[in-house]
Structure 1
């Protein structure tokens, strides 16, 4: 069943899933019977449940008592080692990457006014891939630490290029120019990556390893990348008020005292830092940034004061649950979280494209 979010003073948006005007002060979620307590309790419960599943479920399941023993009084048993050295670091990476992808997704859809946008639209994934492949082509094999640094640098460079191209247009960094410049930079980086991997087998091997989005391959990166995550989340919080006014249209936002260029700069900086951090920690994980904002808006409405924190919570839940499911369905091996999310996200994307009315942004 489709749902339309409306404001008390804003008429229903046109029958379109893309470029639909937002209604930032929507009370539709409350009118639908969702109390403020429910809107807080559901995301928190989802995160707690996902964390417990991530720690307890695997090729060798553990009980809550074993989890508590491993945390409070570890004695070096096989289960203690599994929980403390494998599952817990993996869960921490999932928490960080999921929150980054969820918040980056809601900001991307808000700034582009596009209900099917995700952080990869800004060239972040392909920029990271190009940096890694280029370095491998020029210097040979790379350590995983070097790949992580290159991934972040490439993601950052691609986002800056997208924003620079978008702002060079006559009307500045509008949603349309950002989408078009993002598509152009993504296509350019993708073409260069393809050309390099065809010329060098080592580059192809490196790209194959890096492109499998996984929470298990790079747990060490969280300790180095957390300052960027913290700054990105801070920028996202600072951007909430501007997003609510920009959702009413740029002219209205200006009349309310919002500096549109500053708001766009802060938003793009937040998206770049968050999505770049997620790519560095877990590789390219598709669809999380697309799915999570729709789940959040369906529960809490379109006000960014509620959807940004809800997107962080549901991003954590979705990534951890997908990672846990990958460990269960392919036991004793595992499917990467990127593969599981692609299987979940592709049908959702088709459903999203077919629906007549969406939760608006």
Structure 2
């Protein structure tokens, strides 16, 4: 009997046993080389801007900070939180996308396409309209709730159709509900005259990130990514199908619940900080699987590194398109993500 395998998931036979195909040497190269490239990208990004600053000054500002020097103040108070926040949200969206694709066996899964980002954005719009003086900690909490609401409704609507939930129905439900929530958010912004407050979240960008936001966001993201790594073996089993995972002793319901909570934390916290930046969670997991294979023990940490790289260099490109003005980070990534999504959608249609 032929065994159906999710697109992007492969098995090979060795001594009569089905084993996952993976490339640990490639994953090690991504982790080591990617970290080195990320450090270089962070340094270049910090030095580049309206006032170009030498890398030697960046080094001095980081390790020998002098508050009397203007360049040191620019680096410490403006550019460092910006680039570190970009790296953090890139890793968060990428890991969230990898978990979603692994658990749902849907190659089109992404927090931006599944209603999670728009749900979090709608929650923020409600907070700005009705609770304008909320602290950032509460904004993150409401963002989590909005992300959960968005994901729950999208999965519920997608499952109501005859034949059950399919990748195509999930994407269509996500697109429709995301459009509805975005329209409601814009309506709230117009009625309560908070468009200026929400404009940053609509565009998606890292220019306004502050240290206090990173201090609140970092523990959530760190715990969630560590949880994703701890869950990675179970996600690998789920990516082969529920029946196979149960046969291998996995408690699939518990794994899916834990994975969903991790995705909501990662996506919700990221949207609260930078807004609607989509497609990172769609592009990076596919690229990572192509490089390292299908073992999520490698995919998740490598996705975090590659997601950080994409966000950092996309932000750098956003500042170079039309200086001194800045192009929104979300627009730069969408230029890559939309064609990639169309390619994947066409590929999936051919395989059905």
Equivalent of residue 114 in structure 1, options 86, 106, 114:
106
- Deviation per residue, 1:73-93 (Å, 9 max, x gap): 233322212211111111221
C-alpha contact (below 8 Å) 1:326/1:336 kept by paired residues: yes
Structural mapping, 1:137-176, within 5 Å: 137-138=129-130, 145=136, 150-159=142-151
Q: Distance in 2 between matches of 1:121 and 1:40?
A: 28
C-alpha contact (below 8 Å) 2:27/2:298 kept by paired residues: no
Structure 1 residues 79 and 197: alpha-carbon distance in aligned structure 2, compared to 1, 3 A threshold: closer
Question: Does residue 99 of the first structure (1) align with residue 91 of the second (2)?
Answer: yes
SS in 2 for 1:127: helix
- Deviation per residue, 1:307-331 (Å, 9 max, x gap): 1000000011000101111112221
- Structure 1, unmatched stretches of 5+, are 11-22
C-alpha contact (below 8 Å) 2:204/2:277 kept by paired residues: yes
C-alpha contact (below 8 Å) 2:231/2:255 kept by paired residues: yes
Single out whichever of 342-351 and 266-275 deviates more from structure 2.
342-351
- Deviation per residue, 1:24-70 (Å, 9 max, x gap): 8213x47xxx6564243332233223222222222222222111121
Q: Distance in 1 between matches of 2:158 and 2:223?
A: 23
Question: Does residue 7 of the first structure (1) align with residue 20 of the second (2)?
Answer: no
Give the TM-score of the pair, scaled to structure 1: 0.80
Equivalent of residue 20 in structure 2, options 25, 30, 52:
25
Residue 232 (structure 1) aligns with: 224
C-alpha contact (below 8 Å) 2:9/2:239 kept by paired residues: no
Residue 312 (structure 2) aligns with: 320
C-alpha contact (below 8 Å) 1:47/1:317 kept by paired residues: yes
- Structure 2, unmatched stretches of 5+, are 1-6
Residue 301 (structure 2) aligns with: 309
Structure 1 residues 170 and 257: alpha-carbon distance in aligned structure 2, compared to 1, 3 A threshold: farther
Residue 338 (structure 1) aligns with: 330
C-alpha contact (below 8 Å) 1:173/1:264 kept by paired residues: no
Single out whichever of 221-230 and 241-250 deviates more from structure 2.
221-230
C-alpha contact (below 8 Å) 2:31/2:305 kept by paired residues: no
Q: Distance in 2 between matches of 1:209 and 1:24?
A: 46
C-alpha contact (below 8 Å) 1:53/1:321 kept by paired residues: no
Residue 48 (structure 1) aligns with: 39
Q: Distance in 2 between matches of 1:311 and 1:186?
A: 25
Structure 1 residues 68 and 231: alpha-carbon distance in aligned structure 2, compared to 1, 3 A threshold: closer
Structure 1 residues 168 and 272: alpha-carbon distance in aligned structure 2, compared to 1, 3 A threshold: farther
- Deviation per residue, 1:261-299 (Å, 9 max, x gap): 111101101100111111112111111111111221122
Structure 1 residues 256 and 6: alpha-carbon distance in aligned structure 2, compared to 1, 3 A threshold: closer
C-alpha contact (below 8 Å) 2:98/2:303 kept by paired residues: yes
Structure 1 residues 107 and 166: alpha-carbon distance in aligned structure 2, compared to 1, 3 A threshold: same
Residue 134 (structure 1) aligns with: 126
C-alpha contact (below 8 Å) 1:50/1:317 kept by paired residues: yes
Give the TM-score of the pair, scaled to structure 2: 0.82
SS in 1 for 2:13: coil
